Chain A
Amino acid sequence: MTDMPTIMILDDQLLVAFQAARLLEKNGFQILGPFGDIDAALAGLEATPPRAAVLDINLGNGMTSEALADALVERNLPFVFYTGYGSANTLPERFSHVAVLSKPVRPEELISAVNAMTATSE
Chain B
Amino acid sequence: MHDTSDGADRGDAHADDPDTRRRVTAALDASRIGVFEFEPQTNKAFWDDRVRQLWGIPDGEDITYETVIAQVHPDDHALHDGETEKALDPNGSGEMDMEYRVIPRNGDPMRWVRARATCTFDGQVPVRLLGTVEDITERHMFEQRNKVLMNELQHRVKNTLATVISIIKLSADGPKSMDEYIDALEARLLSMSRAHSVLTQSDWSAVDIRDLLRKEFDAFVGPDSQALKYSGPGLLIPAQHVQIISMAVHELLTNAMKHGGLSAGEGHVEIKTRHDGEMASFIWQERCTSTFAPNSKPSGGFGSFLLGQILSAALGAEVAHEITSQGALFRLEFPLASEIAA
Residues of A at the B interface (CB closer than 8 Å) are 12-19, 22, 33-37, 40, 58, 60-61, 83-86, 89, 102-105
Contact = CB atoms under 8 A, between A and B. Distances in A.
Interface stretch (B31-39, B56-64, B108-116, B149-157): B149-157
Say what secondary structure dominates the interface of chain B: helix
A103 B162 contact: yes
Contact of B166 (A19, A36, A40, A60): A19
A36 B316 CA distance: 8
Nearest to A59: B240
B305 interface: yes
Interface in B140-162: 151, 154-159, 161-162
Contact of B316 (A40, A60, A61, A84): A40
B240 A16 contact: no
Interface stretch (B130-138, B224-232, B254-262, B306-314): B306-314
Interface residues on B, range: 20 to 34
B238 interface: yes
B295 interface: no
Interface of B: 151, 154-159, 161-163, 165-167, 169-170, 238-240, 244, 305-306, 309-311, 313-316
B166 A34 contact: no
A13 B151 CA distance: 19
Given A33-B313, A36-B313, A103 B170 contact: no
B331 to A, nearest CB: 19
A15 B170 contact: yes
B166 A16 contact: yes
25 contacts: A12-B240, A13-B163, A13-B166, A14-B244, A15-B170, A15-B306, A16-B159, A16-B163, A16-B165, A16-B166, A19-B169, A19-B170, A22-B169, A34-B313, A36-B313, A36-B314, A36-B315, A36-B316, A61-B239, A84-B154, A84-B155, A84-B162, A102-B158, A104-B161, A104-B165
Given A15-B310, A18-B309, A34-B313, A86 B166 contact: no
Contacts, number: 79
A13 B159 contact: yes
A81 to B, nearest CB: 13
Interface-centre pick from B239, B305, B313 (highest chain A CB count, 10 A): B313
A80 B55 CA distance: 47
Given A84-B155, A85-B155, A18 B161 contact: no
A27 to B, nearest CB: 14
Interface-centre pick from B155, B157, B162, B238 (highest chain A CB count, 10 A): B162
Contact of B313 (A35, A58, A60, A85): A35
Contact of A84 (B158, B238, B310): B158
B166 A18 contact: yes
